[in-house]
Structure 1
Amino acid sequence: MRLRVALVATATLALVAPAVPSVAAAPAVAEGKHPQALVFGACPAEISTRYPALTCATLPVPLDYTRPHGATLSVLVTRHAAGNPAKRIGSLVVNPGGPGGSGAALAGSLSKPDATGFTRLDAAVLDSYDIIGFDPRGVWQSSPVSCAAPDHFGAPQPDPDAKASRTELWRLWSSYAKQCYAKNKTVLPHLGTVDVARDMDMIRAALGEQKLNYLGYSYGTYLGAVYGQLFPQRVGRMILDGNIDPAPKDMWYQAGLTQSAALQKRFDESYLPWVAKYDDVFHLGKDVATVRAAWTKTLTDFRTTPRGSVGGSELIGTAYGVMFSESGWIPFTQAISAYAVGGDDSMLADFAAPDLSADSEQANAIFNSVICVDSEWSRRRSTYEHDAAKLARTSQFAWYNIWTSGSACQSWGVAGPGRVKLTGKHLPGILLFNTIGDPATPYAGALKMHKALPSSVLVTEQDSGKHCVFSNPRAAVNPAVNAIGTKYLLTGELPSTDISVAGHPLPVPTPAAVAAGVDARPDLRSAIQ
């Protein structure tokens, strides 16, 4: 599931896209027939500037698969060509999750060497596969949807925990849903996971591949599982990392609820002890209770007196996002320390500054467009408030999460095909990864996905709470996990049984690095970027 911080944190990947969906009336290739082969060439500047090794192609897909010769949407596909054609196995289609993450960019992130020459995917995999990314329908370069003005929710937003804010927050989200329907009513019923999975099969066919090899993270695990349910005979090698619980009828609502508890556990049991361990660096306390008190006072101060565009909602939303990956722990804690110890609020206000760009609004629009049609949602506001109040007894993230992970669905204007029941029938062996303490896709959900896909093998990273584990950036690499995934992609060989591996180390801050102003702010748009 995607980080719900698009409205409260600045993403490092600039996504420039039109503000309205592009729906063409050109004929589409009927499902089950082979579309025209993709012709790869130059990429849009937003991609080529950052990932010059990628080439791009555009694929028309049916807006409505029950009317395959009707209106179409445009899907952008990127490719990093296999480095050794003699060893080429095929294409590996990748998805970063979300819903709303850019797979077009992920193909570049997984294949581009860093300053040391390290690539997230092993060199042997890059030699053997064309890495294929795509922006799902409604995302960035693929007929993007927009629902409202970028400043619709304002900044700072109403305090998510305050009872006095609830009427205003319901008004904002209901207005958002109504505007989204008014702008996109023709498109909205066709933005769910089932349609994206059918688009993936169109991509497979347009690539000339008999089988789809796939690597999906977070929401991408559900997308991959749905593809396998629809097209089991076309599944090749599949890795699902950071797994969604596919069981509940109200799947996405339940995902938001379970995140609140998991995020608090990550905050309490991993982050706060880590801060206390490095009191010589951050000076926030040598024990968890003291560090927690410093954080609580900071949050209360920003709630009481917002610093420009940053109030309590923006600050708790930023903490929410930072818990997904340790890559932001050092600069986030440095910013808290600057305020709590030195009285300087500028660094924290900058770190948590909301992104009110059209790109951020577009990401929020597609996130809601997918989850609202993918599964059931209550129409009773009292249900949301009751569940949030109950969770808030033990989780500081409860009210923020209830508002930003589906409140629009309470009054969404269209219904979709609903949740796909997974049986796993006729699927080949599938490789699942999950960290034991993942706050975004909690481990209990990985067990449910494992049960729903009987041919799968689950690899668990112990002593870890990062969201997703395979092919991480260099700072969070787990060599044992990478070796398992790489071997599977190259040979098709799975571990003989479910296994566990030791976790990767947490970052080690130093006074010198912090004093120098290390800026390691993560891309809060996607936990695995």
Structure 2
Amino acid sequence: MDYSNPNNNSTVSIFLRKLPAKVPADQRLGTILTNPGGPGGSGSAFVASGGEELSTIVEGRYDIIGFDPRGVNLTGPSTACFNVETKFLLREYQLRLQGAPFPPLDNTTQREHIRRLSALQAGHDDACERNGNQNVLESVGTVAVARDMAAITEALGEDGLNFWGYSYGTILGATFAAIKPNLVKRMVLDGVSDSESYFNDVLQWGRDGMQNTNKTLTGFLSTCIEAGPNFCTMAVPPIGTNETQTVETLRKRLDSLYSKLAREPLIIADSRAAGSGFLKASDIQYLILSVLYNPTSWRTLADVLVQVERGNGANAYNALYGGFSQIIPRSYSENIYNRSMQSYGTSESLYPVLCGDSSYLNITNDRYSNYIRELGRISPAGEQWALTVGGCREWSFHARERYTGPWSVKDGLKKTRFPILFVSLDADPVTPLPSAVKMSRAFGNESATLLVQQGYGHCSIAHPSLCTARNIRDYFVSGKVPNNGTYCTPEPGYIYPNVNKTEERRSLSKRDEDLLGAISRLRDARTKTQFSGLDAAAASMT
């Protein structure tokens, strides 16, 4: 369990799921380990739902293995701090009801809001102080998981690691490359987060993540205008006006909607799954951020926002709160693997890893309030992101081993055995292109290359591109490293219908048709295996 202490005889039981290679043994190229993101994403679930697609992209030449990192899903011991899993979910529900202080409040009201929010967020740490297993909670950090990957690779008889990571998986992969550079055979890191700020300054990591959120929101609005009223309901002038809609008028409508809901939340008499309740401005901000992850849901998001404008919030409320109505109380003891609440898409696995990896975050309520406002100025959804970071305030359990650097070649970062392929969209709402540029430069030209894809959403598969998929395939299958700065464009018609899409598809070769189908399905598979409420809300609108 503790690589830093050989006298600690405790162990972890890592759950893996394998999809075998599709080719004869003499054509097999090895094993790829994969991670869908998080912290808290289940690798085993990802392979169950998307393993065939991953295999198709690499032409069946590799075994595909997904493993559940420490503290996640079927890997044990569990990091659970509540005796019944619904208790953490109820805490999540209460946090959602409290919401972010958005739009910004006056100082007195904001101070009271932050006080209640802080009390709710402290509940998880308090429960872990009383009921948690300290040995486990301090042993689920990213460095320990990276060392687990080395152990898995050795147990498989492989001479190095092939890895494919998304989002948080890019932090995991970069950490492995920093501490085990000689073992890097092939490594694709897609949707790149800033590993240096993640370990050294979680407040800065929060700022870093919001650099392209506004660009992604602009994409949501501009693609709606381009699609026109026949395909995007927000492009239709509001009732009672004939004003031609532009990106700027749509922004004003969003601001007006936020102001209206701040003055008077929308009462929901009933909804399909979530029953009755009310919608706040912060709910709509949360929903928009979540669906920015997945541009194929933007058409539905536009419909839902127009419904809320017109006083009908049932569908929005169901997307935000419907999952909570499915909760069935169940003891952890009913599952021999101490399965965490992964099945409900909660983030209990997130905080022991995220907060345990970072330095101790001891900030006052006033400073927390200022930070929320700061991120709100940086990003149109910054208040929501600040709440994730705020969950680490005064977290008591820190990883026994953390990697704080070096994070650049000039500071002593070692050359990897084979160059890492970093992949980034140029408009990703939470893992922005500047983070990918920074990380690829940090590893240096001999150890890294960066592929940039035009498009919107979280990770390249959110906005499928044959160019990107071909480069990833050739990297894994042929060892061909794309030139640094390679630029790819997405396929047409994935956000709104495109008259040219059908004809272009007909002209594809069978190989490219299979490749495009695989990356399109992989997008949905990854969304289903994510840990957070953001992803759950996005999935509910597909």
Deviation at 1:302, TM superposition (A): 4.4
Q: Is the 8 A contact 2:234 2:302 kept in 1?
A: no
Q: Deviations over 1:105-146 (max 9, x none)?
A: 22234333xxxxxx35535x2421000100101111112422
Query: TM-score under structure 1 normalisation?
Result: 0.77
Q: Is the 8 A contact 2:423 2:453 kept in 1?
A: no
Q: Is the 8 A contact 2:71 2:79 kept in 1?
A: yes
1:463 aligns with one of 441, 454, 465:
454
| Change in CA separation of 1:169 and 1:506 when aligned onto 2, cut-off 3 Å | farther
> Does the residue aligned with 1:467 lie in a helix, a strand or coil?
coil
Q: Which amino acid aligns with 1:97?
A: G
* Residue equivalent to 2:482: 495
Q: Is the 8 A contact 1:309 1:353 kept in 2?
A: no
Deviation at 1:388, TM superposition (A): 2.2
* Residue equivalent to 1:437: 427
Deviation at 1:438, TM superposition (A): 1.7
1:179 correspondence with 2:127: yes
1:389 aligns with one of 373, 376, 396:
373
Q: Is the 8 A contact 1:309 1:354 kept in 2?
A: no
Deviation at 1:395, TM superposition (A): 3.0
* Residue equivalent to 2:510: none
1:130 correspondence with 2:48: no
CA distance in 2, matches of 1:197, 1:68: 20
Q: Deviations over 1:141-181 (max 9, x none)?
A: 11242245111143552141241411100111122222123
1:244 aligns with one of 189, 193, 199:
193
List aligned pairs for 1:49-448, cutoff 5 A. 62=1, 65-67=4-6, 70-85=9-24, 86-112=26-52, 119-122=53-56, 125-143=58-76, 144-147=78-81, 149=87, 150-155=89-94, 156-161=96-101, 162=105, 163=110, 164-184=112-132, 185-248=134-197, 250-267=200-217, 269-277=218-226, 278-285=228-235, 286-303=245-262, 304-306=264-266, 307=268, 308=277, 310-341=279-310, 343-353=311-321, 355-356=323-324, 357=327, 358-359=341-342, 363-381=346-364, 382-403=366-387, 405-416=388-399, 417-421=401-405, 422=407, 423-427=412-416, 428-448=418-438
State the superposition RMSD in angstroms: 2.8
Q: Deviations over 1:484-526 (max 9, x none)?
A: 1111101212124432222444634469xxxxxxxx9964647
Q: Which amino acid aligns with 1:87?
A: Q
CA distance in 2, matches of 1:371, 1:386: 21
Q: Deviations over 1:40-78 (max 9, x none)?
A: xxxxxxxxxxxxxxxxxxxxxx25651466122221101
Deviation at 1:273, TM superposition (A): 1.5
Deviation at 1:348, TM superposition (A): 1.6
Q: Which amino acid aligns with 1:487?
A: D
* Residue equivalent to 2:443: 453
* Residue equivalent to 1:49: none
| Change in CA separation of 1:484 and 1:275 when aligned onto 2, cut-off 3 Å | same
Q: Is the 8 A contact 1:191 1:370 kept in 2?
A: yes
Percent identity between matched residues is 25
Count of aligned residue pairs for this structure pair = 446
| Change in CA separation of 1:353 and 1:309 when aligned onto 2, cut-off 3 Å | farther
| Change in CA separation of 1:398 and 1:495 when aligned onto 2, cut-off 3 Å | closer
| Change in CA separation of 1:323 and 1:251 when aligned onto 2, cut-off 3 Å | farther
> Does the residue aligned with 1:106 lie in a helix, a strand or coil?
helix
Q: Which runs of 5+ in 1 are unaligned?
A: 1-61, 113-118, 512-519
Q: Is the 8 A contact 1:63 1:190 kept in 2?
A: yes
Deviation at 1:446, TM superposition (A): 0.8
> Does the residue aligned with 2:212 lie in a helix, a strand or coil?
helix
CA distance in 1, matches of 2:73, 2:257: 35
CA distance in 2, matches of 1:302, 1:121: 46
Q: Which amino acid aligns with 1:152?
A: R
> Does the residue aligned with 1:270 lie in a helix, a strand or coil?
helix
CA distance in 2, matches of 1:108, 1:242: 21
Deviation at 1:368, TM superposition (A): 1.0
Q: Which amino acid aligns with 2:379?
A: S
Q: Deviations over 1:164-216 (max 9, x none)?
A: 41110011112222212333223111111011111111211222212111111
Deviation at 1:99, TM superposition (A): 0.8
CA distance in 2, matches of 1:309, 1:126: 49
CA distance in 1, matches of 2:7, 2:30: 28
Q: Deviations over 1:332-377 (max 9, x none)?
A: 2221223324x42212211222644444777412111111121224
Q: Is the 8 A contact 1:245 1:251 kept in 2?
A: no
Query: TM-score under structure 2 normalisation?
Result: 0.75
CA distance in 2, matches of 1:71, 1:232: 27
CA distance in 2, matches of 1:165, 1:183: 28
Deviation at 1:82, TM superposition (A): 0.3
| Change in CA separation of 1:420 and 1:282 when aligned onto 2, cut-off 3 Å | same
CA distance in 2, matches of 1:126, 1:392: 44
| Change in CA separation of 1:510 and 1:398 when aligned onto 2, cut-off 3 Å | same
> Does the residue aligned with 1:393 lie in a helix, a strand or coil?
helix
> Does the residue aligned with 2:70 lie in a helix, a strand or coil?
coil
Deviation at 1:319, TM superposition (A): 1.2
